[in-house]
Structure 1
C-alpha cells in the first residue's frame, strides 16, 4: 500500500501540477481550496526555459552571458510569485533588472567636488583613452614589429609619448602603480643595502599603506636621517657609506607639516651627491608632468629631473589623468637596470594600459586637467541651469558656491573654488543608490552636488537623476 500523502506533499503537488485528486483535498487547509488555487500566482509563473528562449532575452544572453540572465530571470520569477510583477510582464522586468555590462562595476557621477577620488576610481579617462582601450582589447601588435614580422619592443609608442612630454628624461618604463615603481626601485637598487630617507618622509597614505614597510619588504635597510620636522644636507652626507644603495625623496602628498621645519630640495641633494655614484630617486606622487599654474606647490616630473634627480616616480591615474600606472623616468642606465630586473616582469602593465596611457599623452586634454582649469563663473552658470530645471519641477533646489579639492593625495592645502546644486538632505542616499548613481555629500543639512568634478556633458544626466528621485516620492 502506498504511504499516505502528507500536507507538504499535497502543497508541492499543487505548486507543480495545479490540481489534486478529490480524495486528497481534505488534507488541504481552507486557503488551498481549488477555488483559492485558481488565483494562486504561483500557477502563472513563467517557466525558466520559456523566458530564456524569448528572443529579447536571447540577445541579452549573447551580450552578458547566460548565467547573468538566468539569475535575473529567477529574481523576477520570485517577484511574480509575490504578486509584484504580472506574469505577462516578466520579460520586460528581466530586461529592466539586467546590468548594463557583465561587470559589477557601475558608472557613477562624481559630484563630491574631489576631482581625483580614490574610492571612485581616481582619474576618469578621456574619450580618446577609452577608444584606445577598445581598439587594444583584441589582438594587437603590442610586441610585434609588423614590418619585419619579428618581436618588437613592448609599449614603445607609449614610452615615446611619455618622453616627449618629459624631455628631461632619457628613458622610461611603466609598471602597474606608483607603489610598484617604488618597490622595483628599492629592490633593484637597495636590496641588501641601505636606502637613505628623511624621517619626515616615512609617510602613510591611503588604506594604511606605509612607505617604510614597503621599502623594508624588498630586503632594503632604511637609514633614517633628520627628525620628523627638520632635515639638513649634512644629515644626508653623514649617512652615506659603502652600503648606500640610493637616496630617496618622497613627496608627503596628502599632508603638510608647517612651522619649525626644514627640508632639502632635490637640486641641493643632487649637487651634494655628485661624484658619489649614489643615485637620487624622487617619488613625486601625483603625476604632474610640468609646473601647473593652479598647483604651484605640487612637484612635477620635468622640473624634478631638471633639478638633478636620477630617477623620478609618479602615478599615471592622478593629475596626469590617465590609467592606473606607475611611471619611472630618468637616466637611461638606471632605467635599463630596472627593466632587466626579474621583478619588472611581474609589475609591467598590459596592452590596454599602454594604449590608454599613450592616448592620454597624445590625445585631447583629459577630464582631470579640464576640471582643474574649469572657470568658476562657468561652474556657477552650470549650477544655475541645472537648478532651473529642478525648480520648474517643484524641487527645493538652489545654486551655491562650494569648495572642491584635487584629491588623490595632491595639493592637500589648495582648495579650489566652485559651485554646487543644493538639495534637501533626503536626496543624498536615493541618488547614491539610483539607476545612475550620483555621489554627492551632506553639508549644513543639505545635499550638495558639486559640479567641479562633473563633466559638463553630464549635467543633464545629473538633473535627470534628481528628477527621478523626486518622481519616486510623488
Structure 2
C-alpha cells in the first residue's frame, strides 16, 4: 500500500455536521484538517520478499548510478531504478537481482529513445531510418561542433563572420559551376526560400507533370502556395512543350520552375522542355529559372544516368538549383542552393532565410561529407555484387537460410525503378518481427512470404552483430 500522509489533531466538522452528531457547542468549528506529509513507502513485514528490494535512495547513491546520471540525466536514471524495482515487485526477478538488472539497464541506456537499426532492406536512402547514414568523418565533425565553435566568428579579428563559410567553400569546390552556395535546414526549405525570395506575390510557371507529392503527404503546389507565390500550371501530365511556358509568361511572372519528378517515372508518350531551352526563354524575359533536383547529386553518376545533378543543371543554364543534403549526397539533413551569385544572395538576405538556416552541427557534418572519404551511401550504391554474394553466403552458412538474388533500390525518391543487383538471405517470414525487436534491431525486407536479409547497406564491420542478431531471432 502507499499512503500520502496522516492526520493529526482531533476530528473537525463543519457546523451542520457537528449538530447532526450531537456535538454542537462542544467543538470549535474548523474547516480543514491539519495535514503532514509522510513517506510514500509503507514498511512491510520482514517476511514479505518485497521488503528486500533495495531502497530508491540507496540505489541512487551508488557510484555506478551517480556516474550514469551524469551521462544520461537524473530523470532517466531514476526511471531505470524504478523499473528495476517494479520488476522485483511483480516477481519477474528476485529482490537481490535488482542491482545487477539496474546495472545492465544503465549500461544499455541511451540519452535518446531513438534506437540504432541495422538496415538489411537493400534500400540505401531509407526515409524511415533517417535517410543517409553519416560517414565516420561526418560523425567526428558532429562531435567537434557539439560545443562552442566559430560558426559565425572570425578568430583572427574577433569579429562576426558569415555563417557556414567552410560548408559553403566545400560545396563550391564540389560544384565549380556554381558562383555561390547557401545551406538551409532541408530540401523543401531550399525550394520554399527560392520561390519566396524570387517570386513572392507573383506567378511561378511550372509543368503539370512536375506537380509532385513528396513524403508524408506534402504536395509541391501546397508548399509553393504557402510562400505567397501563385502557380501557373502549363502543359499536361505527360507532355509539356517550350511553347506552353512561352505562352504563359507575362508581366506578372516571377520565375520559371522545373522540378525533377524523382519519386516516379512516366513512360511512353511523353515530352518535357529541357533546361537549356527554358534558360533561353527565362533570359529573354528576364525571369530566374529555378531547378529543383531533389536528390543532391553534385556531379553525374554513371550508375544513375537519368538522375540529374547540380553541375549539369547549372551548365545548362539554371539560375539556381535546390537539393537535399541527406539523399544521394550522403550527408546530414540539409537543403542546398547553388547558382548565380546575385540569385543566391537574394535568397540569403531574405528574412525567411533566418527561419530556415542550418545549425552548426549540420554545417559541420555537411562539410565533412564533402571533404572526407566516400560516404556510406556511395559505398552501398556502388557495392560489388560478387562481394555481396560472398557476405550473403557467409551469413547463410552461419544461420541457415537460402541465398537468393535480390535487387536493392536507391530509395529516398531517387532513381525510381533502377535496380541495384545483389543478394539476400531468405528466412521464414516470422523472423522479421524478432529481428526488428532484437538488440541490435535489424530491419529486413518482407517480400513474397519470406524475410530477406540484404547486406548491401550493412557495413562489413557489422557483419558479426548482424549474424548474432539473426541467430537470436531464429532461436526466439
What's the TM-score once normalised by structure 1's chain length? 0.90
2:410 matches 1:406 = yes
Would you say the 8 A contact 1:57–1:91 is kept in 2? no
1:194 to 179, 183, 203: 203
SS at match of 1:430: helix
Spell out, residue by residue over 1:277-332, the C-alpha distance to the aligned partner (whole angstroms, 9 max, x if none): 11111001100111111100000010000000000000000000000001000000
2:275 matches 1:266 = yes
Cα separation, 1, equivalents of 2:251 and 2:448: 59
Look up the match of 1:48: 56
Cα separation, 2, equivalents of 1:95 and 1:263: 62
> Unpaired segments of 5 or more residues in structure 1?
4-12, 20-36, 391-395
Query: What do you get for the CA RMSD once the two structures are aligned?
Result: 1.8
Deviation at 1:434, TM superposition (A): 1.2
Q: Which runs of 4+ in 1 moved over 6 A?
A: none
Cα separation, 1, equivalents of 2:253 and 2:447: 50
Would you say the 8 A contact 2:50–2:95 is kept in 1? no
Higher mean C-alpha displacement, 252-261 vs 306-315: 252-261
1:306 to 283, 297, 315: 315
Would you say the 8 A contact 2:407–2:421 is kept in 1? yes
Look up the match of 2:3: none
Look up the match of 1:453: 457
1:185 to 189, 194, 203: 194
1:297 to 281, 306, 315: 306
Cα separation, 2, equivalents of 1:262 and 1:17: 81
State the aligned residue count: 441
2:96 to 88, 95, 118: 88
SS at match of 1:274: helix
Would you say the 8 A contact 1:169–1:305 is kept in 2? yes
2:73 to 38, 62, 65: 65
Spell out, residue by residue over 1:229-287, the C-alpha distance to the aligned partner (whole angstroms, 9 max, x if none): 11111111111111111000011111111111110110111122223211111001100
Look up the match of 2:397: 388
Higher mean C-alpha displacement, 101-110 vs 265-274: 265-274
Look up the match of 2:350: 341
Higher mean C-alpha displacement, 308-317 vs 271-280: 271-280
SS at match of 2:42: helix
Would you say the 8 A contact 1:80–1:86 is kept in 2? yes
Deviation at 1:188, TM superposition (A): 0.8
Spell out, residue by residue over 1:23-79, the C-alpha distance to the aligned partner (whole angstroms, 9 max, x if none): xxxxxxxxxxxxxx72x3222111111111111222111110111111011111111
Deviation at 1:96, TM superposition (A): 2.2
2:292 matches 1:283 = yes
Cα separation, 1, equivalents of 2:285 and 2:439: 60
Higher mean C-alpha displacement, 350-359 vs 380-389: 380-389
SS at match of 2:178: coil
Look up the match of 2:441: 437
Would you say the 8 A contact 2:408–2:422 is kept in 1? yes
> Unpaired segments of 5 or more residues in structure 2?
1-8, 12-38
Look up the match of 1:127: 136
Look up the match of 1:255: 264
SS at match of 2:337: strand
User: Residues 19-30 of structure 1: matches in 2 within 5 Å?
Assistant: 19=45
Spell out, residue by residue over 1:399-420, the C-alpha distance to the aligned partner (whole angstroms, 9 max, x if none): 2211110000000120111111
Cα separation, 1, equivalents of 2:203 and 2:10: 84
2:52 matches 1:16 = no
Cα separation, 2, equivalents of 1:72 and 1:398: 41
Would you say the 8 A contact 1:386–1:460 is kept in 2? no
Deviation at 1:2, TM superposition (A): 10
Cα separation, 2, equivalents of 1:435 and 1:96: 13
Would you say the 8 A contact 2:52–2:96 is kept in 1? no
Cα separation, 1, equivalents of 2:411 and 2:65: 42
Higher helix share: 1
What's the TM-score once normalised by structure 2's chain length? 0.90
Cα separation, 2, equivalents of 1:401 and 1:97: 40
SS at match of 2:221: helix
Cα separation, 1, equivalents of 2:241 and 2:470: 55
Cα separation, 1, equivalents of 2:366 and 2:10: 74
